[in-house]
Chains A and B, each alone.
Chain A
Amino acid sequence: MKTTDENKPILQIRNVSKIYRGKGNLFRSPGKDVVALNRISLDIFKGEIFGLVGESGSGKTTAGRLVVSLEETTSGRIFMENREVTGLKGRSLKAFRRKVQMIFQDPYQSLNPQRSVYDTVSEPLKIHRMGNASERKAKVKEILKAVGLSPPDDFLFRYPHRLSGGQRQRVAIARAMVLNPEFVIADEPTSMLDASISAQIFNILLAMRKDLGVTQMFITHSLAAARYICDRIAVIYRGNLMELGPAEAVIQNPRHPYTQALIDAVPKFGHAKEAKLYGTLLAKRREAGKDKGCIFYPVCAVADDAICPRKKPGLTPLDDGRMVACFREGSDPEQTSFLPHVSNKGV
């Protein structure tokens, strides 16, 4: 890790679950509950870029929305700088939102087509009553320049339809950055963009960390993107954390069979022969009891039938600074989080 404040977690997630209750139907039996996140615990340290990697439906976006309090946790607690954010309301929620911002996935939908770039980027300043009109304008220009929309005067009064996808996403980043947040969640910020434009966005995110020290949670489905920009990554599968550790270590030497299956599936771009094949994915899924055992057991080719279908492995630290939830790697059956308890200082 590159950060100096290595031991200072800025964000602490403890045993957080999110269950979407099925509404059911008047004429049918009640709907099914969807477990989007299952008892997730993790720490994000000051100044790092933390990657949350998973496939669609794995709960990675839900995790981001819970952290910014766009949704409420079903159980568990989230702390930002030792202050509990779960259940914040009113003024304290507004103060919290000044420090934590989000960049959404689709810049074609996250910008209001009827508002100019200036309207969009200055709105957070207005909401938080910062500066007068001319100060706000100066701040907006400064931030537009920082995200590479220069000269800013060219862009101030443009509407989204006159911006390309990459420019729109930069406006979205500017909107998130204008309040000088301490923590930014970027939810798949480049999945709608071309490779050459994605690289621009990655570099802006890296510069934000370097110049302003902004801690980031980078949500992505692409291990390659995570490798490029993240210090540490967590791999999430159907709402459960499977592996967490330094990005390069997890990608070059994955220890969880699911991470290994993911790496197997990524096109190796001409390196197919050199790449090691783990072969941990079962071709045909096997039957497994519900809600018991490891979530990956039904498709895991290296599972131990004696224990994997019966108990859930807990995320357990290994010797090399990473954590894995797999009995093969010596995980304990699920227990309470091994991460330190957080005392709430209150707001």
Chain B
Amino acid sequence: MFTACAAFVVITAGALVTSNDAGLSVPDWPTSFGYLVKVPHFVGGVRYEWSHRMVAGTLVTLTLAIAMWTLLVERRRWMRWLAVGAFCTVIVQAILGGLTVLLFQPPAVSTAHATVAQTFFCIAVAIALFTGRKWVEEQPRVEFDSRRPSLVTLTLLSIFVLYVQLVLGGMFRHHGMSWWPHVVNAVIVAFVLAWTAIRAISVYSQIEAVRRPAIVMISLLITQLCLGFTAFLTRVAWGRDAAQPELPMVASTVAHVAVGALLLATTVVLAIQVWRHVPVAFEERVPEAQQDASAA
């Protein structure tokens, strides 16, 4: 859980870097002005970029510790693989961060950096969930899902549209694309997530593990849409000719990124809980020919 919180802090720090156009204020990498940890003159864009690097470095250390600890004490084999996957993801993320500096922030690389960051956050949240007492000790209450599309499909579709949204938002923020694809996809995201949340809350309200993340997801979705609208107003509509990043545009955009990360992680948690508590009814997996034969 602590690592997940640290990942969230790193994502927020990264959003501050991008929003303040400070990504290249420290021109070298992996050193910062020639040093690994020496504190530079702490002014201007350097404050954001250097802090982001230091928090990210701490996160890499934490992830390494978790991966090693998991390999030593965890008996579930898939959990050991997940911990190793988390460590590999954070290393890929660090390399992408370096490339974004050394290649002068190409939109594709910077967007990949933003996307992998949230992927790591989701993995960290999933590890926290899987190692939590409730997950380990509880006997899950299972209700088979015979509706179509199934809730599992809806949650996976929600994750997919959120990833598309993340890529479109990243490309816009890093000047690789216009704003409109992100706004158009926001409508699709709102529709799919609302559909998923309403299904989960209305049909499976008795399963707390499903109901709670669904409620959080719909609340975050509404917050995120409001923040997106505010960020659009401050950055695109009003801030087009701003001489520098101004507080309203920085605050709204950073909040938009942070809530976006929480929304994705919550959707991943919902998908995991749905997979555990609301599996697809087995009979639906039986080929139609066999069903017909048994009916006859």
Q: Do A and B bind each other?
A: no
Q: Which residues of B contact A (CB under 8 A)?
A: none
Q: Which residues of A contact B (CB under 8 A)?
A: none
